[in-house]
A and B are shown apart, each in its own frame.
Chain A
Amino acid sequence: MAKKYYDPAGLGKFGNIAEFQKPMADKFFAYYGEVFKEGALTAREKSLIALAVAHGVQCPYCIDAYSTDALEKGCSEAQMMEAVHVAAAMRGGATLVHATQMMDHVKDLTGA
């Protein structure tokens, strides 16, 4: 067994998750395929969302997969980086917005 957490070859083995639980894997991959089809959003827009989410959830497999996918769908470097900034802004904002809770708590305790 490889002595590392992330092996790039793991991405190609994604489908193998069915080996331990096939019915759920089949349902997941069918759903996954449906989600990424052209719909109310274009496949290209979905690819950029996926790229942003890949960074948000910090999944190395997803970052590789959706960097390639976004390139294939004709996204520019600037568009891809802006998508990552959206993820960064969301994560940063999600952290900072909790500061209001901290502030309320501090004010409550200190009687400010």
Chain B
Amino acid sequence: MKSLLAQHALLSAPSEQRLVLEDPGSALPFFADKLAESGLPVLHATNLEVLQLNLGRMCNQTCTHCHVDAGPDRKERMSREVMEDCLRALDAHPVHTVDLTGGAPEMHPDFRWFVEQLNEKGCHIIVRCNLTIIRANKKYYDLPEFYRKHKMEVVSSLPFYTADRTDRQRGKGVFEHSIEALKMLNAVGYGLPDSELELNLVYNPAGAFLPGSQDELEKQFKKSLMADHGIQFHKLFAITNLPISRFLEYLVRSEHYAEYMERLVNAFNPAAVQGVMCRNMISVSHDGSIYDCDFNQMLELPLSAGMPHHIRDLAKSNVAGRAIVTGRHCYGCTAGAGSSCGGTVA
């Protein structure tokens, strides 16, 4: 499967996605109006605590619901110069966590160098590992050991505990390779009950429905993965699919868009609003552009007026207290128990 960009699909363009989402003719309430109707103030950022860095769009997989439209045909990647800008920003702000994502961040040629620099700064490092990258090529076989050495938290997508549903979303054979990779991570100590080497899995629904109870799903994943494969992990993060990029294209193409958005809006939970991840993070694109979150990055919605637009300017800026840029896609993070890169929020 090719990326939407390689297919020259209309919805590969963020501007086209925004047109669908913010259609003024839609009966769906605008997110800002929903906040007001619920008696909630405009969303504002707290202190900057997390930098989420998208190292590039290249990935060894082409998942059907990828909101990054990543894949083997995507070549964009973060330059060494932008990486150095990120390191300087870390010196200026009390950021405790750096969250590395992509694509497959490990495919970036400077990935290991960058992790070593981050490690020297003493921040907690999360790698969003797709698991199969560990088995994709011999040069990646030592990744579990590399993660261990740098005490990285590994957060890995595994859409379901069965092969058929996982492979439908992530590609044929992905489940089997993911299981092999999880065993390699367990073998170096990741995910074991008393281990400090954190291995957390990400569940996202394999279709146009919302995730159920995170605790209940975690129990099922733990039971099945242990019984069927002898695999252990720490936590399961249940994440809602946001109507962006490939998932948006799927919703529109399959005529599930209106129904899915209605489900998100009907499940709006005011209690989830305060915990959304955009409040304490900045998301950095491969080209150094900065955003309130990964989703705003994909929709190319820059920080609010008066705020910097590039990571090189972040060191000398105060972004705490800024108004968060929102849109109808934000219903994805506020539905039900809420959703973030760390799972539910309410």
Task: Point out residues on A near B: beta carbons under 8 Å.
Answer: 12, 42-44, 68, 71-74, 76-78
Contact string against A for B residues 207-243, beta-carbon threshold 8 Å, 1 for contact and 0 otherwise: 1011111001100110000000000000000000000
**Provided the pairs A42-B216, A43-B216 are in contact, do residues A72 and B209 lie with their beta carbons within 8 angstroms?**
yes
Nearest B residue to A72, CB-CB: B212
Q: Would you call B209 and A73 a contact (CB within 8 A)? A: no
Q: Which of A43, A68, A77 contacts B209 (CB 8 A)?
A: A68
* In the complex, chain B residues whose CB is within 8 Å of the CB of A12: 262
Q: Would you call B211 and A72 a contact (CB within 8 A)? A: yes
- How distant is the Cα of A77 from the Cα of B160 in the complex, in angstroms? 11
Q: Would you call B165 and A73 a contact (CB within 8 A)? A: no
Give 27 A-B contacts (CB < 8 Å), ordered by A residue: A42-B216, A43-B212, A43-B216, A44-B212, A44-B220, A68-B209, A71-B209, A72-B205, A72-B209, A72-B210, A72-B211, A72-B212, A73-B212, A73-B213, A73-B216, A74-B203, A74-B212, A74-B216, A74-B217, A74-B220, A74-B221, A76-B161, A76-B162, A76-B165, A77-B164, A77-B165, A78-B162
- How distant is the Cα of A53 from the Cα of B221 in the complex, in angstroms? 26
- How distant is the Cα of A78 from the Cα of B228 in the complex, in angstroms? 15
Most buried by B among A68, A71, A73: A71
* In the complex, chain B residues whose CB is within 8 Å of the CB of A44: 212, 216, 220
- How distant is the Cα of A74 from the Cα of B212 in the complex, in angstroms? 7
B5 to chain A, nearest CB (A): 30
